[in-house]
Amino acid sequence: MAKEWNNKNTRWDKDKKPWHKKKQKNATVRVTGLKVWVNDGNAEKALRKLKKKIDNDGKLQTLKSKEYYEKPSIVRKRARDVARKRHLREQAERTPSRNRLY
């Protein structure tokens, strides 16, 4: 146990227990993050749902992108390319499709 300085007696107090660390009986365990429940023992379906949640969350993608240093110019270039693709996709959705009449 760590020694704590006691100002009352001006000595090291070895046996003093911290007041804020109390043992709790039947404490509930909190699970943070993504959760998937397995119904009827169908683990394959639960695994597919978990993978989809991980993909949609984007945390894995940011983790992979931060794995190596990337120059700011390359980051800007990638962002510009993504914006261009998004713009072209939106334009394609807005314009009516041309069906030939002959």
For residue 33, give both structure tokens: 């993050």
Which pLDDT value is given to residue 1? 47
Structure confidence by residue, pLDDT tens digits, 28-67: 666 677 888 888 888 899 899 988 988 888 888 888 888 9
Which pLDDT value is given to residue 33? 76
Q: Return all residues near 46 (Cβ < 8 A) that are at least 6 apart.
A: 36, 37, 38, 39
Q: What is the DSSP string of 28-53?
A: PPP--S------TT-HHHHHHHHHHH
